[in-house]
Structure 1
Amino acid sequence: MPDTKISELVRMWVDGWVVSRGGSDPIAEPWGWTIDVGQSGHVARHVLPEPSEGDVRKIAAATSAPGTWLKLFAEDQAVLPWVGPGWRCGLPGFLMTCRLGPERPEVPAGYTLTAWSRGGVSRVLVRTRAGHFAARGQIALAGGHVVVDQVETAAEHRRRGLGGLVMRSLRGSAYEAGARTGVLVGTPEGRALYSSLGWTVRSPMASLCYEPSDARPVS
């Protein structure tokens, strides 16, 4: 895993992400992959594991559809000058990996945990005894690895170990399903949690969205 190329890790992430989100099959490009997502604010995404200025400029210049995203595995400040007006920078991300093993975490007092799988995606839901939402997360199995996605803890339930509970539960389920490697792209906030659980940062990721001023809704 430490010697795996970033391009290979990104492809692993892409393969699991499309299963998790129901995206189209990735279309191979000379510079990476294009994925149709099909949402109003996320029509499609272009994923470049090793972005070059020339490729990014060409893609940006050819983009006319609002809601088109660029996922560039580089620092924000390095790639932002390569796109023109109409592009905004989203939250930075961090490509992270870990080795999987058997895990059976305990559920904290006052909470319940429900887990289920469907369509290649396994989900974990944590609620209070009264049934209120507390935390969630999901994984998508793709070959010998899983992609962790959409991990979330409600604001009023943070710092109670629920994020760790979700992550350990998902990793345990992945291991039982035969996966041995975990891949994710985390936010700056999530990076601290994942690092504490043994995940290693492999690359930064910049997220750029085409959102020209004339395409934004009038408030």
Structure 2
Amino acid sequence: MQEPTVSELVRAWIDGWIVSRGAGDPMDEPWGWTIDVGQENQVARHVLPEPTEAEVRKLVAATTAPGTWLKLFADDDTVRPWLGPGWRYDLPGYLMTVPLAAERPEVPDGYTLTSWRRGGVVRVLVRTAEGHFAARGQLAVTGATAVADQIATSPEHRRRGLGGLVMRTLQDIAYRDGATTGILVGTPDGRALYTALGWTVRAEMASLYYAPEPAGA
């Protein structure tokens, strides 16, 4: 079976991400997709799976709205010369995949795990025995692929296996829902966790947003 291209993986990631975040349907563009997110600090995002200098420069020149984001599947150093004033870097991302299988993660002593579904999204919450927040994550299954999103562990509860517990629980749910491949875009910190769980990096992603200096600054 032929391996999916980066563009195909990016589109699968988008299809799950918009369900997870409640964003607008992706609008097809010659270079990729535009997604309305509808938040003050992220009004919309342009996603380019195979960015070129000409495409990025054209988008940058046409952007006037603060809170516009670019998700460019290339490394930061490659795209840096293509940008103009007012563009700022967020953390780089890593497009990653994993073959899904049945998982039976055990909950560590002193913690409880709860999961629920709402609007096509599965959410997992880990709390201490006293009910304090410890870790969480969510996932959207869209056919054969499942997109993990917003994985987080409270700083005081890190290095106790809770991130792995959340991920394996989500992977198990996705597998039982019929998905065969997990997809996510991880941060540099998250990459280490996901790699340890068998995820593979498929592409780097530069993440940028437009936040120009106020007039007269």
TM-score tier after normalising by the smaller chain length: over 0.9
SS of 1:101 mapped into structure 2: coil
Moved more, 1-10 or 83-92: 1-10
SS of 2:34 mapped into structure 1: strand
Residue equivalent to 1:30: 30
CA distance in 2, matches of 1:27, 1:143: 20
CA distance in 2, matches of 1:60, 1:148: 29
CA distance in 1, matches of 2:45, 2:129: 39
The answer as to 2:144 corresponding to 1:144 is yes
CA distance in 1, matches of 2:43, 2:18: 13
Residue equivalent to 1:174: 174
The 5 Å alignment of 1:191-202 reads: 191-202=191-202
Say whether the 8 Å CA contact 1:80–1:89 is kept in structure 2. no
The answer as to 2:87 corresponding to 1:92 is no
CA distance in 2, matches of 1:8, 1:205: 15
CA distance in 2, matches of 1:190, 1:10: 18
Residue equivalent to 2:132: 132
Q: Which runs of 5+ in 2 are unaligned?
A: none
Instruction: Report percent identity of matched pairs.
Output: 69
Q: Which runs of 5+ in 1 are unaligned?
A: none
Structure 1 stretches of 4+ with a deviation exceeding 2 A read: none
Alpha carbons of structure 1 residues 133 and 2: separation in structure 2 relative to 1, 3 Å: farther
SS of 2:104 mapped into structure 1: coil
The answer as to 2:116 corresponding to 1:121 is no
1:8-48 per-residue CA deviation (whole Å, 9 max, x = no partner) reads 00000000000000000000000000000000000000000
Residue equivalent to 1:107: 107
The 5 Å alignment of 1:18-97 reads: 18-97=18-97
Alpha-carbon shift at residue 2 of structure 1 (Å): 7.4
Q: What amino acid does structure 2 have at the position aligned with 1:96?
A: M
Alpha-carbon shift at residue 102 of structure 1 (Å): 0.5
Alpha-carbon shift at residue 57 of structure 1 (Å): 0.4
CA distance in 2, matches of 1:130, 1:81: 51
CA distance in 2, matches of 1:96, 1:33: 19
Alpha-carbon shift at residue 91 of structure 1 (Å): 0.2
SS of 2:214 mapped into structure 1: helix
Over the aligned positions, Cα root-mean-square deviation in angstroms equals: 1.2
CA distance in 1, matches of 2:34, 2:134: 34
Alpha carbons of structure 1 residues 127 and 2: separation in structure 2 relative to 1, 3 Å: farther
Moved more, 76-85 or 41-50: 76-85
1:136-183 per-residue CA deviation (whole Å, 9 max, x = no partner) reads 000011111100000000000000000000000000000111111000
Alpha-carbon shift at residue 80 of structure 1 (Å): 1.6
| Count of paired positions | 216
CA distance in 1, matches of 2:214, 2:132: 40
Residue equivalent to 2:204: 204
